[in-house]
Amino acid sequence: MRRLSRTLLAALALLLTAPLVGSTPAGAEPSSASPRLASQRQIALATPGDFTGYGFDQCLAPTQSAMDRWWAKSPFSAVGIYISGDSRACRSQPNLSSTWVAAQVARGWRLLPIALGPQASCQPRFPRYQDDFTISNKAAGGYATAAAQGAAEADKNAADATAYGIGPGSTIWYDLEGFDLTNTACRESALVFVSGWVTRIKEHGYVAGFYSSASSGIKMIDDARVQRPGQFALPDRIWIARWDGAANTSTTYIPEDGWRPGGRMKQYRGGHNESWGGVTINIDSNFIDLGAGSQPVAEGRCPGTRLGYWKYPRLSPTSARTTRVKVLQCLLTEQGTYAGPVNGSYDAATIAAARAWQAARRFTPSDTFEKRHWTALLAAGARTTIKRGSADESVHRLQRALNAAGAGRFRATGVFDAKTETALRTYQARLRITVSGVATTQTWNKLQRGL
């Protein structure tokens, strides 16, 4: 077993002092020769950090090209990777390295590092190899051997995570596959093992995550929470395996109060093939709601002028003074065609600026400002790939443009939420482009053309 003291001190130092680096602009492919890499501070903040959205997990870490294609086309923003544990099926990870980890975070991915070590003594599929082992079910000393196994496994998992550049502050998930919950010795030894693992992994500075079947491991720890409070060290976050097809974090096996808010994710669909961007991967699908969830970023545009509305009406020379005209004047100022006051009056100067903008965008110049003009103007800017859980200025632009296009009727919050996804799917279906719920370059092109 590797010693961790110097490694962890170095990781903590990097976590506190490493500079941030920007993520790769959407639509741009990172250079394979010198990929943009995240700092260890960024990695900790993205593993998985505050996030609400979709993730997938797959035994083998995908290639860089596959990850790039899925980032650009798929609805997923988080990826589960098996980093440690002698009982995992994918012991060999030819694509996984510290560079791979740093490159995915720089790209925008959230990470879900998974460890699959000793399993419950009554799990019939384990041990998987000749050199792995199951959790000891010997009751002596209150299952002292199981507790020691849990602590030793946490040491191993922390060392492996550190080797991949996944340092303290990150969440590590222990995978305990489903087992017979009615087998007392099997259940109690597994619970003590998990308690020992949680205690030690947190001593290493990690957030303790726990994955298991809703009907066995998840119910086991929730029963301990409710019926035996304080007797066991319980995980900070739970990952519920319940293949019910519902993209949420609920299950009938445990009540709604545990690990809320911000402590749950759910694997809602088991192994299946999905293809995005011409790349097919066999995955499990997950819905994630962790930490504070995705949080809006202050936009800082047009101080004092409200930009977001449910609808943007047609403007003509006879239009009355209105707050929507203030939006137009502010945005045309940003576009460089207007230099007058933001006063809400659709006057000659505003009309001239609107005509100049229309001509520059290859619209036929007109004294009226129509739905198509609003859609294009509100969408103007970088064609950033955004999806469920994204939270930056481009989300504001997308939400306003979808409202202007008539695809939605909702508040522009700056967080890509369920309403935004629904409106985007409506828009994509209407234009007969790939209905993915992802704002791709193709989607932005349509919006910026006022379609």
Give tens-digit pLDDT for 96-126: 999 999 999 999 999 999 999 999 999 999 9
Work out the burial of residue 338: count CB atoms within 10 Å of its CB; fewer than 13 is exposed, 13-18 middle, 19 or more buried.
buried
Closest to 14 measured CA to CA, from 160, 170, 237, 203 = 170
The C-alpha angle 64, 62, 415, rounded to 5 degrees, equals: 80
Residue 163 predicted with pLDDT over 60: yes
Q: What is the mean pLDDT of the chain?
A: 92
Q: Over 70: is that where the pLDDT of 9 sits?
A: no
How many residues appear in the chain?
A: 451
- What tokens were used for 266? 């759910």
Task: Give start and end residues of each alpha helix (H) in 74-119.
Answer: 98-107
Tell me the pLDDT tens digit for each residue of 240-290: 999 999 999 999 999 999 999 999 999 999 999 999 999 999 999 999 999
Question: Which CATH code fits 323-448?
Answer: 1.10.101.10
pLDDT in tens, 318-375: 998 999 999 999 999 999 999 999 999 999 999 999 999 999 999 999 999 999 999 9
**In terms of pLDDT, which residue wins out, 24 or 333?**
333
Helix residue spans in 233-322 (DSSP H): none
85, 87, 97, 387 from 91: Cα distances, Å: 8, 8, 13, 32
CATH architecture of 5-290: Alpha-Beta Barrel (3.20)
Q: How much is the pLDDT for 34?
A: 64
Question: C-alpha distances in angstroms, 133 versus 116, 192, 193?
Answer: 11, 16, 13
Pairing relationship of beta strands 279-290 and 51-57 according to DSSP bridges? antiparallel
pLDDT at 302: 87
Show Cβ contacts of residue 281 under 8 Å, excluding neighbours closer than 6 positions: 56, 58, 62, 66, 70, 273, 274
Domain ranges of the chain: 5-290, 323-448
Torsion 288-178-151-160 (CA) sign? negative
Residue 20 has pLDDT above 90, yes or no: no
Cβ atoms of residues 44 and 168 within 8 Å: yes
Q: Do domains 5-290 and 323-448 have the same CATH topology?
A: no
Sign of the Cα pseudo-torsion (377, 382, 384, 390, in order): negative
For 27-52, what is each residue's pLDDT tens digit?
333 444 567 999 999 999 999 999 99
Q: Six-digit token pair at 369?
A: 């400002």
Residue 6 has pLDDT above 80, yes or no: no
